[in-house]
């Protein structure tokens, strides 16, 4: 990963409390897993931003190196990698995601 790409990802995470690297965007997810993440965050009613990895091949590959996680989507809350679709679903069902989000948005 180039230093420029790392800086670009760092900046995106600093500027957005909840950031999702996904296929498509929050208005038009392009895969089921990305859609799951969008639906969960919409259900929580929290502000979040997305980056469409399909339109940026450098980020698509780079984010996998950045997080050391092989799949998309990837969810970051308060700059920390949380996981993908399965992990988000699990955290949501346990009620832990709501807590993570509330703490992040309050800080």
Q: Which residues are annotated as a binding site for [2Fe-2S] cluster?
A: 31
**In whole angstroms, how far apart are CA 83 and each of 2, 3, 29, 69, 75?**
23, 23, 17, 8, 6
**Percent helix / strand / coil, the chain, rounded to 5:** 55, 20, 25
Query: Directed axis angle between helix 96-106 and helix 85-94, to 10°?
Result: 100
Looking up tokens 């989507």 gives 73
Positions at the binding site: 31
């Amino acid at each position: 990963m180039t230093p420029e790409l790392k800086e670009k990802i760092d900046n995106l995470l600093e500027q957005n409390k909840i950031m999702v690297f996904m296929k498509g965007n929050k208005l038009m997810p392009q895969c089921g897993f990305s859609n799951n993440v969008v639906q969960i965050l919409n259900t929580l009613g929290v502000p979040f931003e997305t980056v469409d990895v399909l339109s940026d091949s450098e980020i698509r590959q780079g984010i996998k190196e950045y997080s050391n996680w092989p799949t998309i989507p990837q969810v970051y809350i308060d700059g920390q990698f949380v996981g993908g679709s399965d992990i988000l679903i699990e955290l949501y069902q346990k009620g832990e995601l709501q807590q993570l989000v509330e703490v992040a948005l309050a800080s």
